[in-house]
Amino acid sequence: MNTKIPDAQAITASELELLREAIAESYASRERGRHPFGAVVADENGVVVARRGNNSMPPEGDPTQHAELTAAAEATSKLTAAQLARATLYTSAEPCVMCAGAIYWTGIGRVVYALSEEKLLGLTGDNPENPTFALPCREVFARGQRVVEVHGPMLEDEAADVHVGFW
């Protein structure tokens, strides 16, 4: 079991821009009538290889179509296992348990997220379309056999704005 998860908050200005791209994807999702979440996967050089907005909209849609899960899946078709280990998934909100599992299993080595699960819960309340888990992604990754580096939350206010009035 992996008990050490790096938690350094220092990321570059270009990485903050990639995080803002993930936030922009959350706005695009909302405009399409979907839950406002977005994700971007970039290789070790900061080149975007996948970008996805949320495509799940329970109860009628497929609830597994979260932005992080689908972006991670797309990245696996474009990067080798070694490249995935050096890739970063940027996401508008902290990955849920399902998405953290997808990130882990695809082999992506880093996650940078904007909005914490805790703050998201404050925005969504008890809305049945977003039954938030009180389980930080760091705890999910800590149970695995390999390290997934996590940075976040950051830019929380920017990421929270798209949720105002949605839930």
* β pairing state of 38-42 and 110-115: unpaired
Strand ranges for 16-87 from DSSP E: 38-42, 48-53
Q: Strand, helix or coil at 72? A: helix
To the query of whether residue 25 is one of the catalytic residues in this protein, the response is no
Choosing from 15, 25, 68, 117, the catalytic residue is 68
- Torsion angle, alpha carbons of 95, 99, 101, 104, to 10: -70
Please choose, from the candidates 165, 156, 38, 34, the residue with its C-alpha nearest in 3D space to the C-alpha of residue 95. 38
Sequence length of the chain is 167
∠ CA(133), CA(64), CA(84), 5° rounding?
A: 90
The catalytic site residues sit at 68
